[in-house]
Structures are given as structure tokens and as C-alpha cells.
Structure 1
Amino acid sequence: MSDIKRRANPLFLREEELRQAMELLFFAYRDFTGEADEILESYNFGRAHHRVIYFVGREPGMSVKDLLHILSITKQSLSRVLSQLVDEEFIEQRTGVTDRRQRLLFLTTKGQQLEHELSKSQSRRIAEAYRLAGADAVEGFRKVLMGITDEKERFAHINDTPQE
């Protein structure tokens, strides 16, 4: 069958094609998080710890309020995870310069090392998939993920589009 005939017309996606996409997302997520889960387990951390470490590492100095917004969780949920990461010296909290009520978050050296260790295999996995798929597929994949993401988050990250 030619490549053209195999391509799904997005206007007429069948139930089976949608189910396959859902299954692939489940499997991809399992494999994407698998190695990181093993590392986290050795620290008695879970995926919530990973998300906090990732986003604080991505934007050093972010406020607790901003982190709550990104993660879409309650203060109580974040408090337990963040307290553990601070107590075990993976994250440092500093008072805001202009607003003393603000708590700004930074990875410590120990936190940076863990973030790098967690991201290494995930980055490698994504890079390999991108390399195999090609540039057009990478842009298409990004668009699909943005389409799956809730609209309010989609617009929050619209300026995060990679520039050529």
C-alpha cells in the first residue's frame, strides 16, 4: 500500500485509528517515565517530585504560586512534596526581593544533578524518536500534543514554540 493511502485523513478518523493513538500514548508514557521512575524510587520519590524538580529546574526562581498553576494541583498536594524536596536539600526556597511574601524556588546542586539524571534518558528517547521521524513529523507531533493539551495551557505556552 502506498504511503499516501496509509495516511489518515484527519477529517474522517475512524474509531480504530483513535484507539490506536490512545494506546500509543499510554505505551509511550509508560516507557517515557519508566527509567525515571526507577531513579525516583531509589530516593523514595514519585512522579510528583519529578514534576516539581523538572519545572523548578526549567525556570529557576519561579514562585510557588507559578508552580501551583503549572502543575494544576492544590497547595496541600504541593506542600508535602515540596517540603520533602526542601528538607532533603534538592530545592532551596528564597524570599522574593520585591515581595517578601513570595517564595522563590531553586534547585540546589544536588537537585540539579538529580534533574539531569532524570532528564537524560527521557531526552535521549525523544531525540531518537525525533531523529527517526524527521523534521515535518516533529512539528506535527508538537501540534498534536498542543491540541491534546487543555486550551488554557495551550495559550500559556504559545510563546514557547521553538524558533528556527
Structure 2
Amino acid sequence: MDKKREEQLNDIHVLFYFAYRAFIKEPDRILEKHGIQRVHHRILFFIARKPGLSVNELLTSLEVTKQAINVPMRQLIEMGFIISKPAEYDRRVRELYLTEKGQNLERQLSGVQRGKLNPIFEEVGSKNEEIWKVIMKKIIDSE
């Protein structure tokens, strides 16, 4: 890789960093008011997308260990944001659901982020939105 290309990629890296920082800024403020962190938002987000998600499915989605998620999960349960119930098909499996309080918080957190993305994609058009999704998927697939 030549020096010019390296600089171009560094510029993209900087943009990626500042875009992510802007994307999480307001949700971080909301989380702070509740005394919780980004990991809690990720948990709420994935449970909201798939109510009844098992603990193991959540661990797989987040790519974390059970130990890493134990404290935040317990906090969310104690704070009344999620409930954990045994699955009907296998009582050993714990399924996770958002409570009404959890749904409201998740909607607020993710709503801020959707509110940031929507006008941008409306401005740049659906073709550029699709290109952006392709790039994001390629980054994910490069792991």
C-alpha cells in the first residue's frame, strides 16, 4: 500500500470514528441518566429485535461470554427493563423479553439513532444507502 492510499484510509478511519461518536452521543446521555452503559443498550436492542431470544442466542449475537454479560443482565432485570422466563419447549432455556419499561427505553435509545440515520439516507438517496449497507456488511464479514 502506498503512502497516499494509507492517508486516504486514515481519513476514512477518522470519519468512521467521529461518525460512531456522533451516533452514540445522545444514547449515551440517556443511558447515563439511568445509570447504565452501552452494553445495556446492546442487550435491550437485540431483545427488542427478537422477543424470546435465549440467553445463548444473545451471547452469540453480542459475541461475549456469559460472565461478561451476567452483571448487565442482572441489572436490567433488577431495574425492571427485562424479564427472563423458562422456555416452554425446554425449562432449562431462559428466554428474554423487554418489559413495557424496557420497550420504552429501547425505543427512546434506538429512536434517537434512527432519527439520526433517516434524514441522512433521505438526503443521499436509496442508492447510496444500499452502498453504505454493502460497505458495512463487508466490514462485518471481514472479521
Same fold (TM over 0.5): yes
- In percent, how many aligned pairs have the same letter? 39
Q: Deviations over 1:56-103 (max 9, x none)?
A: 011100000000000011101111000000011100111011111000
1:36 match: 27
Greater relative contact order: 1 or 2 (C-alpha under 8 angstroms, separation 6 or more)? 2
1:134 match: 125
Report the Cα distance in structure 2 between the residues aligned to 1:98 and 1:122, rounded to whole angstroms. Answer: 35
User: RMSD of the TM alignment (CA)?
Assistant: 1.2
* TM-score calculated relative to the size of structure 1: 0.82
Report the Cα distance in structure 1 between the residues aligned to 2:125 and 2:48, rounded to whole angstroms. Answer: 28
Report the Cα distance in structure 2 between the residues aligned to 1:74 and 1:68, rounded to whole angstroms. Answer: 6
Within the candidate set 64, 70, 73, 1:79 is matched to 70
* TM-score calculated relative to the size of structure 2: 0.94
Q: Radius of gyration: which is bigger?
A: 1
Within the candidate set 80, 87, 97, 1:96 is matched to 87
Shift of 1:151: 4.9
Q: Structure 2 stretches of 5 or more lacking a match?
A: none
Q: Deviations over 1:27-47 (max 9, x none)?
A: 011000000000000011000
Within the candidate set 37, 50, 57, 1:66 is matched to 57
Runs ≥4 in structure 1, deviation > 6 angstroms? none
Report the Cα distance in structure 2 between the residues aligned to 1:50 and 1:66, rounded to whole angstroms. Answer: 16
Q: Deviations over 1:115-151 (max 9, x none)?
A: 0110111001110111111111101000000011145
Q: Structure 1 stretches of 5 or more lacking a match?
A: 1-12, 153-164
